Amino acid sequence: MGMTRKPSEHVERNKTMKYKRQPQKPDWFYSDDSKIYASATFGTHLSNEWYEFDDRQDALEMVNLFESQRFVDNFTYYNGEYYLSEDIIWDGDCIQNLVNLRPAEIDEMINAESAF
């Protein structure tokens, strides 16, 4: 279960993302209002994960690598965006309530993929 690539391998592909695995938040976490921040944490666990992305598209590049069963069960990809599967009403192959849907939060998706 988990990502096919470790986030550190993704950092090599995507130089704009910052990633750290450590118990406490890194100094750069929430240091720039123009960035998107996300984390997957459990107290002060050694495997807490901290992320900084330039924008939503930057974050979605990493999310596209997710394939854990928990992620697949809880999120639906449709027209370039992820949504909580439980919020979707289908009409055949189309989403009936697309106007009222909000894209899934990056934190929600990272937590679904994390070990916690």
Residue 15: which pLDDT band, with cuts at 50, 70 and 90? low
Residue 94 has pLDDT above 60, yes or no: yes
Predicted confidence (pLDDT) at residue 29 exceeds the cutoff of 60: yes
- Whole-number pLDDT of residue 14: 55
Kindly indicate the confidence band of residue 98, based on its pLDDT and cuts at 50, 70 and 90: confident
Query: Residue 16: which residues within 8 A CB-CB, separation 6 or more?
Result: 53, 54, 58
DSSP-based three-state secondary structure for 53: strand
Look at residue 116 in the predicted model and tell me its pLDDT. 78
Q: Does the pLDDT value for residue 42 go beyond 90?
A: yes
Give the three-class secondary structure for 113.
Answer: helix
Over the Cα atoms of the chain, what is R_g? Answer: 15
